[in-house]
Amino acid sequence: MNKAIVSFSGGQDSTTCLFWALEHFDCVETIGFDYGQKNRVELQCRRRILGELEQSFPQWAKKYAGDLVIDVRSFGQIAQSALTGDGRSMNETGDNGLPASFVPGRNLMFLTYAAARAYIRGADTLVAGVGQTDFSGYPDCRRDTLDALEKALTLGMDHAFKIETPLMYRSKAQTWALAEEIGGKALVDFIVKNTHTCYEGDHEHWHDWGYGCGQCPACRLRAKGWEEYCQSNRP
């Protein structure tokens, strides 16, 4: 049986990756992280998405084998960023040219935990919704970083891991298109309605592309991708 563990935050990208994994693997588990993110709403959204999986998509729910949320708030205390409430605005850029939302080492840490979980659960594949196309400049989202990590995890645990990144070279518009390819309009609607991307934790203001403040970099990227996706689908 081929089995995958998806690093799942409840955002558009990792939710698309979850369904991609359910389409491509016999058995899929999810892993999530409480790193002290300011926006607790994303933890609620991920729970709701997993709760609705069975009802909305029974064909995939039978491959779904459970979730684990890990408390890594001690990491968040060290690796402070605008996402963990270090006082900076999300729109700021640091002296190193990276957005204030960059959490140093976050994806490396997530995937190392996911690998340890995969090792114990008999899985070889880790799936991450990272990409370098609509690139925020996060160096831990680049494929060459993940190639190096894949090698380090494989050597360090003596277990052949593969890190799958289905969104690596896709724009946000192409990510919406991938959701449509996997699950049609029903999946696109599900992702619009249930996922949370907004850096400001706004899950009250509704737009065509879902909930969010509409102003932060994550909302602007999501809105732009949605607009491009809709335009390319218009007859």
- The residues of the shown chain that bind Zn ion, judged by CB under 5 A, are 198, 200, 212-213, 216, 219
Which residue lies nearer to Zn ion by CB, 88 or 143?
88
Q: Is the Cβ of residue 140 or residue 200 nearer to Zn ion in the bound state?
A: 200
| Nearest residue (CB) to Zn ion, 5 versus 216 | 216
For Zn ion, the closer of residues 39 and 145 by Cβ is 39
Provide the minimum distance between the beta carbon of 201 and Zn ion in the complex, in angstroms, as a whole number. Answer: 8
What sign results for the dihedral spanned by CA atoms 178, 220, 135, 230? Answer: positive
Phi-psi region of 210 (alpha: psi -120 to 50; beta: other; left: phi over 0): left
3 state DSSP class of 162: strand
Quote the least distance from Cβ 206 to Zn ion, whole Å.
13
CB count within 10 Å of CB 195 equals: 25
Nearest to 131 by CA among 221, 3, 228: 221
To the nearest whole angstrom, how small is the minimum distance from the Cβ of residue 155 to Zn ion?
40
CB of 202 to Zn ion, least distance (A): 5
CB of 231 to Zn ion, least distance (A): 22
In this structure, the chain runs to a length of: 235
| Neighbour count for residue 135 (Cβ, 10 Å) | 11
Residue from 92, 79, 94 nearest 37 by CA: 79
Task: Tell me whether residue 121 or residue 220 sits nearer to Zn ion (CB atom).
Answer: 220
Q: In angstroms, rounded to a whole number, what is the distance separating the alpha carbons of residues 218 and 108?
A: 21
- Compute the distance between CA of residue 30 and CA of residue 61 in angstroms, rounded to an integer: 12
